Structure 1
């Protein structure tokens, strides 16, 4: 089985994440998309994150009705900070019959050369890239690499940062979130 790993803090998960994940599941050769909730991204401040359980619960609830999407807590028990190469190594040991690929936006591909063991990742795993309008067209030599697959997914300019700020400002961003996620954030008084 070919699994696409869509990493994110999902703080919170929003409809943009779901549109991209579902598009990858339906319009690429990936069989399933695992939305991997990262406990701590080395490039983000940890203090802005909701706790792991709450973010995983929101991803689980947001994806449970999608046959090809699955919430994953695989990184919760791995050493921190979590590096993609370590997660891939662990997954290959745990699921030797699966083939794991990465899903990322063009903006992340620009910084891919900074990733730990990026050459080993690229040598052993395909990378599925979706467009980001804010970045414009990526003039990246990696786009021509045989392991890079550009998928013409819908461009979703929704950010978790925007949603958190809207909630803090008392604005309704209900249309940007799966219904359960909006209700959970509201009931738990998150991001205020």
Structure 2
């Protein structure tokens, strides 16, 4: 089985994330997409980021109705700070029957050459890149690379930051969130 790994803090997960992940599962050779919830980074201000398990719960709620989309807490028990290359090695060890690929926005590909051991990642894993509105060109070294697949997914200009700020300002963000996630956020009084 070929699994696409979609990394993020998902603080909160929103319909933009689901649209991209579902597009990858339906319109590429990926069989499933796993939402890899990244643990709290020591560099992020604690006040803006919900607890790891609350964010995982939201991903679970958002994906429960989709067979090809799954939540993953694989990074919760790995040493911090964690690097993608280490997560991939851990996944390969734990699930040798699966092939893993990375899903990333075009903006992340621009800085991919700065990632720890990016050459190792690229040698062993495919990258599925979705478009983001941007003026910058992709580094020449990644043009035409056989492991990098540009997927013509819808451009989603929706961010978790915008949603958090809107909730704090008392705005209605319900249409931007999966229904189960909205109910959970509302009941828990998150981001207010």
The reply to whether TM is greater than 0.5 is: yes
1:168 is matched with 168
1:3 is matched with 3
Deviations 1:94-145 (A, max 9, x none): 1111110000000111111111111110111000000001x14633321321
SS in 2 for 1:116: coil
CA distance in 2, matches of 1:118, 1:94: 21
Closer, same or farther: CA 46–96 of 1 in aligned 2, 3 Å: farther
Contact persistence 2:92–2:98 (CA under 8 A) = yes
TM-score by length of 1: 0.95
1:189 is matched with 189
- The gaps in structure 2 that reach 5 residues or longer are none
1:107 is matched with 107
Contact persistence 1:40–1:81 (CA under 8 A) = no
Map 1:6-21 → 2, pairs under 5 A: 6-21=6-21
Contact persistence 1:40–1:82 (CA under 8 A) = no
CA distance in 1, matches of 2:41, 2:98: 25
* Structure 1 segments (4+ residues) deviating >6 Å: none
Contact persistence 1:9–1:41 (CA under 8 A) = no
- The gaps in structure 1 that reach 5 residues or longer are none
Deviations 1:58-116 (A, max 9, x none): 00010011010000011111111221011000000111111100000001111111111
* Aligned length, in residue pairs: 190
